[in-house]
Amino acid sequence: MLTAIIVAAGGSRRMGFDKLFATIVGRPVIAHTIGAFERAGSVGDIIVIGREGRLDKIKAIVRDENFKKVRSIVPGGKHRQDSVRAGLDHLAAGAKYVAVHDAARPLITPEQIECVLEQCRMHAAASLAEPISDTLKYADSEFFVTGPVDRHQLYAMQTPQVFERPLIEGAYRAVYAENVSVTDEVSAVERLGRKVILVPNKDLNFKITYPRDLNLAEFVLTQRIRAAVD
Protein backbone atom coordinates (compact mmCIF):
# COMPACT_ATOMS: atom_id res chain seq x y z
CA MET A 1 0.00 0.00 0.00
CA LEU A 2 1.18 3.51 -0.84
CA THR A 3 0.68 6.21 1.78
CA ALA A 4 0.91 9.82 0.65
CA ILE A 5 2.25 12.46 3.03
CA ILE A 6 1.09 15.86 1.77
CA VAL A 7 3.11 18.66 3.31
CA ALA A 8 0.96 21.75 3.87
CA ALA A 9 2.68 23.38 6.83
CA GLY A 10 4.58 26.19 5.10
CA GLY A 11 4.17 29.85 5.93
CA SER A 12 3.59 31.22 2.37
CA ARG A 13 5.98 34.07 3.14
CA ARG A 14 6.78 34.86 -0.48
CA MET A 15 3.10 34.80 -1.44
CA GLY A 16 1.93 37.24 1.23
CA PHE A 17 -1.20 35.17 1.97
CA ASP A 18 -2.03 31.53 2.53
CA LYS A 19 -1.67 30.16 -0.99
CA LEU A 20 -3.06 26.72 -0.16
CA PHE A 21 -6.53 28.16 0.36
CA ALA A 22 -6.48 30.38 -2.72
CA THR A 23 -9.09 29.33 -5.27
CA ILE A 24 -8.22 27.97 -8.70
CA VAL A 25 -10.92 26.57 -10.98
CA GLY A 26 -13.42 26.92 -8.15
CA ARG A 27 -11.52 24.88 -5.55
CA PRO A 28 -8.76 25.58 -3.03
CA VAL A 29 -5.22 24.79 -4.16
CA ILE A 30 -4.89 22.09 -1.52
CA ALA A 31 -8.10 20.42 -2.69
CA HIS A 32 -6.64 19.93 -6.18
CA THR A 33 -3.50 18.43 -4.65
CA ILE A 34 -5.28 16.02 -2.32
CA GLY A 35 -7.72 15.15 -5.10
CA ALA A 36 -4.96 13.80 -7.36
CA PHE A 37 -3.84 11.35 -4.67
CA GLU A 38 -7.47 10.51 -3.87
CA ARG A 39 -7.94 9.44 -7.50
CA ALA A 40 -4.67 7.50 -7.76
CA GLY A 41 -5.53 3.81 -7.56
CA SER A 42 -2.32 2.82 -5.77
CA VAL A 43 -2.82 5.26 -2.89
CA GLY A 44 -4.42 3.70 0.17
CA ASP A 45 -3.97 6.42 2.77
CA ILE A 46 -3.31 10.15 2.77
CA ILE A 47 -1.75 12.02 5.67
CA VAL A 48 -1.96 15.81 5.51
CA ILE A 49 0.56 17.80 7.52
CA GLY A 50 -0.78 21.26 8.28
CA ARG A 51 0.26 24.34 10.18
CA GLU A 52 -1.13 24.94 13.66
CA GLY A 53 -4.14 27.21 13.36
CA ARG A 54 -5.33 25.96 9.99
CA LEU A 55 -5.95 22.29 10.67
CA ASP A 56 -9.67 22.90 11.10
CA LYS A 57 -9.79 24.59 7.72
CA ILE A 58 -8.09 21.62 6.10
CA LYS A 59 -10.53 19.27 7.84
CA ALA A 60 -13.44 21.31 6.48
CA ILE A 61 -12.08 21.06 2.93
CA VAL A 62 -11.60 17.30 3.28
CA ARG A 63 -15.19 17.00 4.51
CA ASP A 64 -16.64 19.27 1.80
CA GLU A 65 -14.71 17.47 -0.96
CA ASN A 66 -15.76 14.08 0.45
CA PHE A 67 -12.20 12.76 0.38
CA LYS A 68 -12.22 9.16 1.61
CA LYS A 69 -8.49 8.38 1.77
CA VAL A 70 -7.43 11.13 4.18
CA ARG A 71 -6.72 9.20 7.36
CA SER A 72 -4.89 11.82 9.42
CA ILE A 73 -4.50 15.60 9.52
CA VAL A 74 -1.70 16.43 11.91
CA PRO A 75 0.34 19.51 12.82
CA GLY A 76 3.73 20.00 11.24
CA GLY A 77 6.98 21.34 12.61
CA LYS A 78 9.18 24.38 12.26
CA HIS A 79 10.94 23.11 9.14
CA ARG A 80 9.81 20.98 6.22
CA GLN A 81 11.77 17.96 7.41
CA ASP A 82 10.06 18.22 10.80
CA SER A 83 6.69 18.07 9.06
CA VAL A 84 7.69 15.04 7.02
CA ARG A 85 8.90 13.30 10.16
CA ALA A 86 5.51 13.98 11.76
CA GLY A 87 3.91 12.24 8.80
CA LEU A 88 6.23 9.26 9.09
CA ASP A 89 5.22 8.93 12.74
CA HIS A 90 1.59 8.45 11.64
CA LEU A 91 2.08 5.72 9.04
CA ALA A 92 -0.24 2.75 9.31
CA ALA A 93 1.25 -0.66 9.98
CA GLY A 94 0.48 -1.83 6.45
CA ALA A 95 2.17 1.03 4.61
CA LYS A 96 4.80 -0.39 2.26
CA TYR A 97 5.64 2.67 0.17
CA VAL A 98 5.65 6.35 1.14
CA ALA A 99 5.10 9.30 -1.20
CA VAL A 100 5.94 12.81 -0.02
CA HIS A 101 4.36 15.67 -1.94
CA ASP A 102 4.20 19.44 -1.59
CA ALA A 103 0.63 20.65 -1.13
CA ALA A 104 1.56 23.70 -3.20
CA ARG A 105 1.93 21.55 -6.34
CA PRO A 106 -1.74 21.23 -7.38
CA LEU A 107 -0.99 20.24 -10.99
CA ILE A 108 0.16 16.75 -10.08
CA THR A 109 -1.84 14.00 -11.78
CA PRO A 110 -2.70 10.42 -10.78
CA GLU A 111 -0.78 9.22 -13.83
CA GLN A 112 2.40 10.93 -12.63
CA ILE A 113 1.97 9.44 -9.17
CA GLU A 114 1.66 5.95 -10.63
CA CYS A 115 4.75 6.43 -12.83
CA VAL A 116 6.92 7.43 -9.88
CA LEU A 117 5.62 4.54 -7.78
CA GLU A 118 6.37 2.10 -10.60
CA GLN A 119 10.01 3.22 -10.64
CA CYS A 120 10.17 3.07 -6.85
CA ARG A 121 9.03 -0.54 -6.92
CA MET A 122 12.01 -1.35 -9.14
CA HIS A 123 14.64 0.87 -7.51
CA ALA A 124 13.44 1.51 -3.91
CA ALA A 125 13.52 5.31 -4.38
CA ALA A 126 12.20 7.55 -7.14
CA SER A 127 11.34 11.19 -7.70
CA LEU A 128 9.62 13.28 -10.30
CA ALA A 129 12.04 15.80 -11.81
CA GLU A 130 12.09 18.35 -14.61
CA PRO A 131 15.01 18.57 -17.04
CA ILE A 132 16.63 22.03 -17.02
CA SER A 133 16.18 23.76 -20.37
CA ASP A 134 17.17 27.35 -19.50
CA THR A 135 20.67 28.72 -19.92
CA LEU A 136 22.26 28.87 -16.48
CA LYS A 137 24.97 31.22 -15.21
CA TYR A 138 27.02 31.64 -12.06
CA ALA A 139 26.99 35.17 -10.60
CA ASP A 140 28.96 36.94 -7.90
CA SER A 141 27.54 38.72 -4.86
CA GLU A 142 26.92 41.83 -6.99
CA PHE A 143 25.01 39.83 -9.63
CA PHE A 144 27.69 40.03 -12.33
CA VAL A 145 27.98 36.89 -14.45
CA THR A 146 31.08 34.89 -13.60
CA GLY A 147 30.66 31.88 -15.85
CA PRO A 148 28.35 29.32 -17.44
CA VAL A 149 26.72 26.28 -15.85
CA ASP A 150 26.61 23.11 -17.92
CA ARG A 151 22.92 22.17 -17.91
CA HIS A 152 23.60 18.72 -19.34
CA GLN A 153 22.10 16.16 -16.95
CA LEU A 154 20.75 18.88 -14.64
CA TYR A 155 17.25 18.37 -13.21
CA ALA A 156 14.98 20.45 -10.98
CA MET A 157 13.60 18.24 -8.24
CA GLN A 158 9.84 17.97 -7.92
CA THR A 159 7.42 15.89 -5.89
CA PRO A 160 6.08 13.31 -5.37
CA GLN A 161 9.18 11.55 -4.12
CA VAL A 162 8.39 7.90 -3.40
CA PHE A 163 10.33 5.42 -1.27
CA GLU A 164 10.17 2.01 0.27
CA ARG A 165 9.08 2.61 3.84
CA PRO A 166 12.17 1.19 5.62
CA LEU A 167 14.43 3.32 3.40
CA ILE A 168 12.79 6.68 4.07
CA GLU A 169 12.36 5.91 7.76
CA GLY A 170 16.03 4.98 8.04
CA ALA A 171 17.07 8.08 6.15
CA TYR A 172 15.14 10.32 8.53
CA ARG A 173 16.50 8.55 11.60
CA ALA A 174 19.99 9.33 10.32
CA VAL A 175 19.10 12.96 9.63
CA TYR A 176 18.01 13.51 13.21
CA ALA A 177 20.72 11.37 14.76
CA GLU A 178 23.35 13.47 13.01
CA ASN A 179 21.46 16.76 13.47
CA VAL A 180 21.61 17.83 9.83
CA SER A 181 19.16 19.71 7.60
CA VAL A 182 17.75 18.45 4.31
CA THR A 183 15.54 20.24 1.83
CA ASP A 184 13.87 17.16 0.41
CA GLU A 185 13.63 13.41 0.92
CA VAL A 186 15.99 12.58 -1.94
CA SER A 187 18.71 14.47 -0.06
CA ALA A 188 18.02 12.42 3.06
CA VAL A 189 18.25 9.13 1.16
CA GLU A 190 21.40 10.21 -0.69
CA ARG A 191 23.13 10.67 2.66
CA LEU A 192 22.80 6.93 3.19
CA GLY A 193 24.68 6.32 -0.03
CA ARG A 194 21.55 5.01 -1.76
CA LYS A 195 20.65 5.77 -5.36
CA VAL A 196 17.42 7.53 -6.35
CA ILE A 197 16.08 7.21 -9.87
CA LEU A 198 14.54 10.30 -11.49
CA VAL A 199 11.34 10.23 -13.51
CA PRO A 200 11.63 13.04 -16.09
CA ASN A 201 8.43 15.05 -16.17
CA LYS A 202 7.29 16.57 -19.44
CA ASP A 203 4.08 17.99 -18.00
CA LEU A 204 3.61 21.05 -15.78
CA ASN A 205 3.97 20.43 -12.06
CA PHE A 206 5.30 23.72 -10.74
CA LYS A 207 5.04 24.85 -7.15
CA ILE A 208 2.74 27.77 -6.32
CA THR A 209 5.21 30.33 -5.01
CA TYR A 210 4.16 33.77 -6.29
CA PRO A 211 0.70 35.26 -7.04
CA ARG A 212 1.35 34.95 -10.78
CA ASP A 213 1.55 31.16 -10.36
CA LEU A 214 -2.12 31.02 -9.41
CA ASN A 215 -3.16 32.50 -12.75
CA LEU A 216 -0.95 30.06 -14.64
CA ALA A 217 -2.27 27.09 -12.63
CA GLU A 218 -5.83 28.23 -13.33
CA PHE A 219 -5.08 28.26 -17.06
CA VAL A 220 -3.42 24.84 -17.05
CA LEU A 221 -6.20 23.16 -15.07
CA THR A 222 -8.87 24.79 -17.23
CA GLN A 223 -7.18 23.46 -20.37
CA ARG A 224 -6.98 19.97 -18.86
CA ILE A 225 -10.66 20.02 -18.01
CA ARG A 226 -11.57 21.11 -21.54
CA ALA A 227 -9.35 18.42 -23.04
CA ALA A 228 -11.00 15.76 -20.87
CA VAL A 229 -14.46 16.89 -21.99
CA ASP A 230 -13.49 16.90 -25.66
Strand bridging mode 23-24 / 27-28 = antiparallel
- Cα separation of 44 and 148, whole Å? 45
- Cα separation of 226 and 221, whole Å? 9
Q: Which amino acid is at 155?
A: Y
- Write out pLDDT tens, residues 44-78: 999 999 998 899 999 999 999 999 999 999 999 99
- Write out pLDDT tens, residues 83-113: 999 999 999 999 999 999 999 999 999 999 9
Domain formed by 2-229, architecture: Alpha-Beta Complex (3.90)
How do the domains of the chain map onto residue ranges? Answer: 2-229
Whole-prediction pTM: 0.94
